[in-house]
C-alpha cells in the first residue's frame, strides 16, 4: 500500500524496497530522461510481489514531469480552449507515449472546482459543470491511452484557504460543498481512482485532514457517494500532515479511514511506515479486514493475482 516518491536516480533505492515486498510501486518526480524505461523494468523485475504501480503527476501546465521527453502539455485551464472530444484525443496520445515509457498510473485529472491556493490553473475552472465535462474527458483519454487515471483532490481543494504543501487548509463547510465542490465526485466508477487531499472540512472532519478521516473516506466517499474504487492519499510528507502527526502514524490513520494506497514522500519513510502498520495490526488500531480490503484493491490495480505469489 506504500508508494514512495522518487526521482529517476533514486529508483535503485526503490529496488531494495521492492525486493523485500515493502512497496506497491512508486511515484516518479523530477525530469526523467531516456533511461527511465530501463529503470522501471529493473524495478518490476526486482519486486517480490509482481508488477508494480508506476505513477506520475502529468496534469499539464506547471505540474508535468515528462515535458522533456514528450513536449509541453497545456494546463487544465488552458485545455478548456479546446472541445472536450479534442482533450480526450490529446490526452490519449500523451498517455500512450507514457505507457511506452513504462508508466501505469497518471495522478490526474484535477477535479477541484476553483483556483484557490495551490491549485490555480490546475483546475478546469470555477463552474462544477465545466470541471465535470473536461475532467471526465481527460480521464477518458487517460484510459484510452492505457493508463489508470486518479482524480484529485477529494473532497475539493478549489476553494480551500491555503496550500496543503504548507499548512492544513480549511474548505467551506460541507453543506456549502454539496452542490458545488462535490459535484465532480458523484457517479464515479472503479475505472478511475480518487486521491483524497489533506483538507479540513467543517461539518465533516472537525480539524482532521480528510486524508486521515473515516468520516471523509469511509463515510462520505465510499458510503454516501458509493465509490468502490481505489483510494489514494496525497503525499503524507506534506506540511498539512506534519502539523497533525508523524508520517508513520498518519499511514495507519489513512488505512484505517478507508484508503488503499498511500504516497509516503521520500523512500526512507517506507520502513518506518511499514513497522507502524505492523504494530497497529498488533494493538488493534488497524484491522486485518481493513488491510485485506486495501491489499485486494491494490493487487487488482497492479494486475497481480496474489495466489501466484504463494509458494
Q: What is the mean pLDDT of residues 95-121?
A: 98
pLDDT tens, residue by residue, 239-273 = 999 989 999 999 999 999 999 999 999 999 999 99
Catalytic residue among 44, 126, 165, 167: 165
At which residue does the C-alpha cell 458509493 appear? Answer: 226
**Mean pLDDT of all residues belonging to the chain:** 97
Q: What CATH number has the domain spanning 2-309?
A: 3.20.20.300
Report how far residue 143's alpha carbon sits from residue 100's, in angstroms, rounded to the nearest whole number.
Answer: 14
Report how far residue 308's alpha carbon sits from residue 49's, in angstroms, rounded to the nearest whole number.
Answer: 9
Q: How much is the pLDDT for 263?
A: 98
Q: Does position 94 have pLDDT exceeding 70, yes or no?
A: yes
Q: Are 40 and 54 in contact (CB under 8 A)?
A: yes
- Taking alpha carbons only, the member of 273, 228, 267 closest to residue 247 is 273
CA 299 to chain centre: 16
Q: Does position 134 have pLDDT exceeding 70, yes or no?
A: yes
pLDDT tens, residue by residue, 168-178 = 999 999 999 99
Is residue 93 annotated as part of the catalytic site, yes or no?
no
Q: What is the mean pLDDT of residues 71-81?
A: 97
For 112, the grid coordinates are 477541484
255 Cβ neighbours under 8 A, 6+ residues apart: 1, 262, 277, 280, 286, 290, 291, 294
| pLDDT category of residue 67 using cuts at 50, 70 and 90 | very high
What's the CA angle centered on 198, arms 295 and 22, to 5 degrees? 30
pTM for this entry: 0.97
Q: Are 181 and 157 in contact (CB under 8 A)?
A: no
Is residue 234 annotated as part of the catalytic site, yes or no?
yes
Q: How much is the pLDDT for 311?
A: 57
Q: What is the mean pLDDT of residues 83-112?
A: 98
pLDDT tens, residue by residue, 190-247 = 999 999 999 999 999 999 999 999 999 999 999 999 999 999 999 999 999 998 999 9
Catalytic residue among 234, 235, 260, 267: 234
At which residue does the C-alpha cell 484505517 appear? Answer: 256
Amino acid at each position: 500500500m506504500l508508494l514512495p516518491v522518487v526521482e529517476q536516480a533514486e529508483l535503485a533505492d526503490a529496488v531494495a524496497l521492492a525486493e523485500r515486498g515493502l512497496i506497491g510501486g512508486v511515484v516518479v518526480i523530477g525530469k526523467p530522461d531516456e533511461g527511465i524505461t530501463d529503470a522501471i523494468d529493473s524495478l518490476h523485475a526486482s519486486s517480490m510481489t509482481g508488477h508494480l504501480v508506476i505513477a506520475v503527476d502529468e496534469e499539464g501546465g506547471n505540474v508535468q514531469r515528462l515535458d522533456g521527453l514528450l513536449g509541453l502539455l497545456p494546463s487544465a485551464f488552458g485545455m478548456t480552449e479546446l472541445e472536450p472530444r479534442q482533450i480526450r484525443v490529446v490526452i490519449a496520445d500523451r498517455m500512450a507515449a507514457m505507457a511506452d515509457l513504462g508508466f501505469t498510473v497518471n495522478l490526474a485529472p484535477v477535479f477541484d472546482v476553483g483556483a484557490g491556493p495551490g491549485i490555480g490553473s490546475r483546475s478546469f475552472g470555477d463552474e462544477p459543470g465545466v470541471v465535470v465535462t473536461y475532467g471526465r474527458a481527460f480521464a477518458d483519454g487517460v484510459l484510452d491511452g492505457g493508463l489508470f487515471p486518479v482524480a484529485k483532490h477529494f473532497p475539493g481543494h478549489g476553494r480551500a484557504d491555503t496550500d496543503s504543501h504548507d499548512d492544513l487548509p480549511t474548505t467551506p463547510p460541507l453543506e456549502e460543498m454539496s452542490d458545488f465542490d462535490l459535484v465532480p465526485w458523484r457517479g464515479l466508477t472503479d475505472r478511475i481512482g480518487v486521491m483524497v487531499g489533506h483538507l479540513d472540512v467543517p461539518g465533516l472532519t472537525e480539524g482532521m485532514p480528510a486524508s486521515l478521516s473515516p468520516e471523509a473516506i469511509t463515510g462520505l466517499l465510499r458510503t454516501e457517494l458509493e465509490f468502490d474504487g481505489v483510494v489514494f492519499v496525497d503525499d503524507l510528507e506534506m506540511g498539512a500532515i506534519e502539523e497533525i502527526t508523524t508520517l508513520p502514524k498518519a499511514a495507519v490513520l489513512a488505512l484505517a479511514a478507508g484508503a488503499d494506497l498511500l504516497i509516503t514522500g521520500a523512500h526512507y519513510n517506507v520502513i518506518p511506515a511499514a513497522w507502524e502498520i505492523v504494530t497497529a495490526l498488533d494493538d488493534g488500531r488497524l484491522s486485518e479486514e481493513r488491510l485485506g480490503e486495501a491489499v485486494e484493491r491494490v493487487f487488482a490495480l497492479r494486475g497481480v493475482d496474489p495466489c501466484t505469489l504463494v509458494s
